[in-house]
């Protein structure tokens, strides 16, 4: 058995050596990246290179080796091979170990001789055989590629570019000295000697190198393009957020207009009620005087002349009593025809983006940029992640200014507007950190992750809407999302 293996190895070596020698006689092999080819005479300018004579032999020997080096038990590739000292059959060490340890048989599976595990002989030259197999695989693959390229039919415009314009032969070399693709006649022509002492590479090797470089460059361009696309997506999202804030401001303006109109109606009603009261009082006095005048005129018409003379003091007394009631000056009654437009405190509205949310640790705190309200106070939003309690909190903090009552609405934005979480608080804020912080349990972390509140860039978008208010102020209702009012 050992003598047969030696003969096989000798055959393999001869075939490989023959192939390499033949390749050297005709220029450069496909396995060398760079080779200097000396100029050698050629019998004919149209002579072609014969195919490698060792290609078929290598494939035949490689197939034969694959059949030889198989485990007789698992019929797979040998792993840590050991052989029987009697029949020299090869087995995987684990396979023959399981065979002997199974208890059903304590003999060689092939020759049936009684066998113990420690009697097996380790095949120490197997690593060399594996390296030889790998070399044969490489040679066979290169030969197959060369045969495939040689047998490719010369059709189409692309094939014309693969023919040497001087000799009409297939271009299969690359002169790195001239940076030119040439055929084997160009490489071996000693008469003209255009490429004498130049350095050549096989065309397919050079092609693979150039292709790899170009693919790398294209990948860089694709990476650059991906960055542009990401920037474009961020701009689109920014446009969307600005549109959302504008929509909220439109609603705020509508609410301000409605409030101003209601204030105008209220002011008008108050003034008209006072003027109408004065009008009602004057009309009553006028009616009473008219009745008295009518009564006195009737009495004067019906009485005789002596009676009229007798009635004169009485009529004078009634007239004097009527005139004795003072008439109010119009300046006391007049109300200024002036109405004031009462505009409520304006909201400060913006979006606080919490970046890299997935990297947050327990008790992670992130602050927004500072901003001012309509009275010049400075504020900032704080997001606080409490992983241990499954809480994500949102807080408002007074940075600078006098303490006051504030109405605060926070929204956690979702791509689907109906899933947006909105909560409102009214609270007294001062500069003591323990007071006026907001909503500790705004939303659970589980909800954020499972309900897909995270944006594609691993960020949360928090919209805030705050303004000063009075302790008894009612929520303005500017935001139309689901609101849950929390008083602390």
Q: What is the pLDDT along the chain (488 residues), one digit of tens a residue?
A: 444 443 443 443 444 333 433 333 333 333 333 333 333 333 333 333 344 445 455 555 555 666 677 787 887 878 888 888 888 888 888 888 888 887 667 888 888 888 888 888 888 777 777 776 666 666 666 666 666 555 554 444 444 458 888 888 888 888 888 888 888 888 777 667 778 778 888 888 888 888 999 999 999 999 999 999 989 988 998 898 899 889 888 988 998 899 889 999 999 999 999 999 999 999 999 999 999 999 999 999 999 999 999 999 999 999 999 999 888 888 888 998 889 988 888 889 999 999 988 888 888 889 999 999 888 899 999 998 888 888 899 989 888 988 889 899 999 999 888 899 999 988 888 876 555 577 888 999 999 999 999 988 889 999 999 999 888 766 554 444 333 333 33
Identify the three-state secondary structure at position 296: helix
Q: Please list, in sequence order, all residues whose beta carbon lies within 8 angstroms of the beta carbon of residue 288, skipping any fewer than 6 positions away.
A: none
Whether 454 and 357 have beta carbons less than 8 Å apart is answered as yes
Identify the three-state secondary structure at position 185: helix
Tokens of 60: 């035949």
Question: How many contiguous H segments (helices) and E segments (strands) does the chain have?
Answer: 10, 17
Nearest Cα residue to 198 out of 45, 40, 31, 39: 39
Whether 97 and 115 have beta carbons less than 8 Å apart is answered as no
For 292: left if phi > 0, alpha if psi spans -120 to 50, otherwise beta; the answer is: alpha
Alpha-carbon distance 171 to 173, whole Å? 6
Q: Which pTM value belongs to this model?
A: 0.48
Alpha-carbon distance 8 to 355, whole Å? 67
What pLDDT is attached to residue 463? Answer: 93
What pLDDT is attached to residue 152? Answer: 53
Under DSSP, the state recorded for 163 is: B
Whether 164 and 46 have beta carbons less than 8 Å apart is answered as no
């Amino acid at each position: 058995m050992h003598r047969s293996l030696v003969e096989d190895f000798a055959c393999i070596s001869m075939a490989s050596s023959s192939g390499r020698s033949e390749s050297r006689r005709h220029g450069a092999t496909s396995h060398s990246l760079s080779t200097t080819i000396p100029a050698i005479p050629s019998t004919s300018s149209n002579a072609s290179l014969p195919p490698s004579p060792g290609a078929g032999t290598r494939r035949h020997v490689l197939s034969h080796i694959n059949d030889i080096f198989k485990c007789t038990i698992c019929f797979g590739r040998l792993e840590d091979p050991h052989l029987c000292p009697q029949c020299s059959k090869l087995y995987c060490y684990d396979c023959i170990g399981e065979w002997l340890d199974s208890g059903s048989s304590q003999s060689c599976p092939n020759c049936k001789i009684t066998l113990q595990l420690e009697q097996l002989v380790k095949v120490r030259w197997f690593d060399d055989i594996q390296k030889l197999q790998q070399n044969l695989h490489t040679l066979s693959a290169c030969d197959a590629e060369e045969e495939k390229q040689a047998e490719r039919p010369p059709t189409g415009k692309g094939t014309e570019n693969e023919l040497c314009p001087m000799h009409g032969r297939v271009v299969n070399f690359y002169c790195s000295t001239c940076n030119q693709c040439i055929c084997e006649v160009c490489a071996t022509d000693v008469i003209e000697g255009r490429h004498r002492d130049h350095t050549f590479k096989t065309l397919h090797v050079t092609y693979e190198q150039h292709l790899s470089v170009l693919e790398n460059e294209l990948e860089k361009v694709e990476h650059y393009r991906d960055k542009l696309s990401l920037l474009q997506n961020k701009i689109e999202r920014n446009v969307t957020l600005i549109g959302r804030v504008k929509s909220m401001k439109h609603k705020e303006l509508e609410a301000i207009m409605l409030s101003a109109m209601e204030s105008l109606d209220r002011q008008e009603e108050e003034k008209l009620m006072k003027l109408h009261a004065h009008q009602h009082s004057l009309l009553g006095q006028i009616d009473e005087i008219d009745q008295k005048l009518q009564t006195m005129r009737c009495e004067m018409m019906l009485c005789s002349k002596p009676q009229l003379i007798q009635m004169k003091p009485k009529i004078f007394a009634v007239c004097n009593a009527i005139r004795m009631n003072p008439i109010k000056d119009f300046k006391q009654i007049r109300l200024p025809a002036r109405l004031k437009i009462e505009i409520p405190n304006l909201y400060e509205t913006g979006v606080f983006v919490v970046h890299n949310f997935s990297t947050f640790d327990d008790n992670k705190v992130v602050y927004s940029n500072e901003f001012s309200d309509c009275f010049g106070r400075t504020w900032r939003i704080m997001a606080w992640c409490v992983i241990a309690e499954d809480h994500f909190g949102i807080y408002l903090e007074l940075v600078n200014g006098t303490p006051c009552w504030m109405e605060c609405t926070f929204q956690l934005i979702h791509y689907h507007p109906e899933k947006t979480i909105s909560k409102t608080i009214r609270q007294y804020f001062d500069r003591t950190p323990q007071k006026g912080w907001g909503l500790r349990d705004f939303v659970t972390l589980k909800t954020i992750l499972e309900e897909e509140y995270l944006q594609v860039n691993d960020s949360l978008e928090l919209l805030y809407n705050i303004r000063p208010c009075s302790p008894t102020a009612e929520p303005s209702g500017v935001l139309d999302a689901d609101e849950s009012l929390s008083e602390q």
